[in-house]
Chains A and B, each alone.
Chain A
């Protein structure tokens, strides 16, 4: 390590290239997670279709969202269930 760099480290001064690298890594991470506007809507439609085979759900209060933090990203899907659809209620669960 060079003397100047050592001095900066000792003075606890952040090197600007370290900031650059950190920002860059974060930007690349979020770039890769970026999705097209209608992707979430398509996903919601498909999810509702699948869940509706098993549960009666309130389609208007469904929430779908992607939560991002510096560490990780998560897909959050939230839906209230009205009732379970059992085989007895006349509706058949389709075979896989």
Chain B
């Protein structure tokens, strides 16, 4: 059976797409799937350093498309997780060297070899975005609870619908304390504005920085809240669509819990 192709996109840059793509890919591979992660950001590759595979790059996606190598030669096997492969972006080429039809060709080949192919889409709505969505069956839209990120997500969602893709939403970098104080949009607010289905909520987590520093998979970090949220997103993508979405909460002391019990009537 052919594998599926999922694009991870956001519109706005710096909302956590690359980390989320790498982590979901790692989690899916740990769950037993054969996974390829493709860095679609030609000229500005990043996924290789996030995954800690930057020293192993020989060929890249442009080499595959130009027929200079086979997919097997370009796909880098992860150091720690079996069945997880990275197809790196080219750092020197112009982003216009790849066309949407090249991506359709490439992903059709990847579908034969991998259960799931994740495309890490670059920020923006230009060539890299068009290439990524041309080949995708499903889409995950990432946004943070900020006005700018939600606005860009809305634009991206519109463009995905135009391609007959119904995306699912990930809200990243939630700070529960700020949400409680009314100083950050809650995930309910974001869902209300964007009106699409939620697939996961990820709390702001310093462990993400540590994982990226060392190039180790976030999901293998011990008690990382973001890592656990990402594992649950991977489960929802792979056979457990009804796994409930957990709402990030503040760890409360006894007195605060008592206080919130009394004020709950409103």
Residues of A participating in the B interface, judged by any CB pair closer than 8 Å: 1-6, 8, 15-18, 20-21, 23-25, 27-28, 31
Q: How far is the CB of B15 from chain A (nearest CB, A)?
A: 15
Contact yes or no, B147 A15, CB < 8 A: no
Most chain A beta carbons < 10 A, residue from B179, B182, B186, B259: B182
Contact yes or no, B147 A2, CB < 8 A: no
Tell me the bound Cα distance from A3 to B151 in angstroms: 31
Tell me the bound Cα distance from A2 to B185 in angstroms: 16
Residues in B whose Cβ lies below 8 Å from that of A6? 263, 266
Contact yes or no, A15 B182, CB < 8 A: yes
Residues in B whose Cβ lies below 8 Å from that of A16? 182-183
Residues in B whose Cβ lies below 8 Å from that of A27? 147, 151
Residues of B participating in the A interface, judged by any CB pair closer than 8 Å: 146-147, 150-151, 154-155, 179-186, 189, 192-193, 259-260, 263-264, 266
Contact of B151 among A2, A4, A18, A24 (CB under 8 A): A24
Contact yes or no, A15 B185, CB < 8 A: no
User: Nearest 4 CB-CB pairs, A to B?
Assistant: A15-B182, A1-B266, A3-B263, A16-B183
Residues in A whose Cβ lies below 8 Å from that of B181? 4-5, 15
Contact yes or no, B185 A31, CB < 8 A: no
- Given A3-B259, A3-B263, A25-B193, is A17 in contact with B185 using a C-beta cutoff of 8 Å? yes
- Given A5-B182, A17-B184, is A31 in contact with B154 using a C-beta cutoff of 8 Å? yes
Contact yes or no, A18 B259, CB < 8 A: no
Residues in A whose Cβ lies below 8 Å from that of B150? 24
Contact yes or no, A17 B193, CB < 8 A: no
Residues in B whose Cβ lies below 8 Å from that of A31? 151, 154-155
Contact yes or no, A15 B151, CB < 8 A: no
Tell me the bound Cα distance from A31 to B263 in angstroms: 39
Most chain A beta carbons < 10 A, residue from B185, B186, B192, B259: B185
Q: Which residue of A lies closest to B183 (CB)?
A: A16
Residues in B whose Cβ lies below 8 Å from that of A23? 147
Tell me the bound Cα distance from A15 to B151 in angstroms: 20
- Given A1-B263, A3-B259, A31-B154, is A24 in contact with B183 using a C-beta cutoff of 8 Å? no
Residues in B whose Cβ lies below 8 Å from that of A3? 259-260, 263
- Given A6-B266, A16-B182, is A24 in contact with B260 using a C-beta cutoff of 8 Å? no
Contact of A18 among B147, B155, B180, B182 (CB under 8 A): B182
Residues in B whose Cβ lies below 8 Å from that of A17? 179, 182-186, 189
Most chain B beta carbons < 10 A, residue from A3, A16, A24: A24
Contact yes or no, B189 A2, CB < 8 A: no
Contact yes or no, A21 B189, CB < 8 A: yes
Q: Which residue of A lies closest to B186 (CB)?
A: A17
Q: Which residue of B lies closest to A19 (CB)?
A: B147
Residues in A whose Cβ lies below 8 Å from that of B151? 24, 27-28, 31
Q: How far is the CB of A52 from chain B (nearest CB, A)?
A: 35
Residues in A whose Cβ lies below 8 Å from that of B193? 21, 24-25, 28
Contact yes or no, B266 A20, CB < 8 A: no
Contact yes or no, A8 B147, CB < 8 A: no
